[in-house]
Amino acid sequence: MEPSKIQLLGDELYEAMIARQAVSPLTARGEDISIDDAYHISLRMLERRQAAGARVIGKKIGVTSKAVQSMLNVHQPDFGYLTDDMVFNSGEVMPISERLIAPRAEGEIAFILKKDLMGPSVTNADVLAATECVMPCFEIVDSRIKDWNIAIQDTVADNASCGLFLLGEEAVSPRKVDLVTCGMVVEKNGAIISTGAGAAALGSPVNCVAWLANTLGEFGISLKAGEVILSGSLVPLEPVQAGDSLRVDIGGIGSASVRFV
């Protein structure tokens, strides 16, 4: 795809995010968009955000669980960038009605890095050695594509459908919890709506982070010390709206809660 077209599509998605006005799927416009094109569109969107003052503080892995892949009909992982204007702390109120278009929540495990990770050939052992701690979190995904009618290229171009995210208060060493078998329980408005386990995300959240480091390595991009890495949902996506509240509990890690306005 021509660079000028990539820039135009990246600008369109950025402006859709700012205006909270979804656009038609990029893949339904008669364009031949490769996944590589889509990542370059995403980078243009990020450039616009950075020009407006946002700062990259981490990265996210998306579409890792079978439940989410089935819901979105997207059958491979993707990644996006996290910025400082996206993050909230447990217990805070999140203004989704002011910031997002069609929000959906996912319970995840966040990795906080203490060392850089640069692919290729990053192993699970490398991920564990580079991780300062893991934390419970919610990612509130959003789509600038109308009605979530997305192919893999659409969500990749749209910064992996990033919206906002919230980190829990507890942080534990990744070596002190079984990240494969740890259980997750998500409550919405006081009722349990879903359960999952670490194995739901590509067999382990550690596999997800290794995948991300190796995939980004192909683009010459590293995971950096101090960054937050969201490792992918362990449960199905849950639509949320103003007035809802969510809580996630992860065995051996802790909990996080959020109320939406």
For 92, residues 6+ apart whose C-beta sits below 8 A from its C-beta are 166, 258
CB 32 within 8 A of CB 63: no
CA angle 143, 96, 15 (to 5 degrees): 50
Say how many residues make up the chain.
261
Which tokens hold the place of 190? 């006081």
For 250, residues 6+ apart whose C-beta sits below 8 A from its C-beta are 107, 109, 136, 182, 183, 184
Which tokens hold the place of 174? 């990744």
Phi and psi (nearest 5°) for 223? Answer: -85, 135
Helix, strand, or coil here: 153?
Answer: helix
pLDDT in tens, the chain (261 residues): 999 999 999 999 999 999 999 999 999 998 899 988 999 999 999 999 999 999 999 999 876 656 666 666 765 678 899 999 999 999 999 999 999 999 999 999 999 999 999 999 999 999 999 999 999 999 999 999 999 999 889 999 999 999 999 999 899 999 999 999 999 999 999 999 999 999 988 889 999 999 899 988 887 889 999 999 999 889 999 999 999 999 999 999 999 999 999
CB 61 within 8 A of CB 81: no
CB 232 within 8 A of CB 108: yes
**Model pTM?**
0.93
Find the distance separating the first CA and the last CA of the chain, reported in whole Å.
Answer: 40
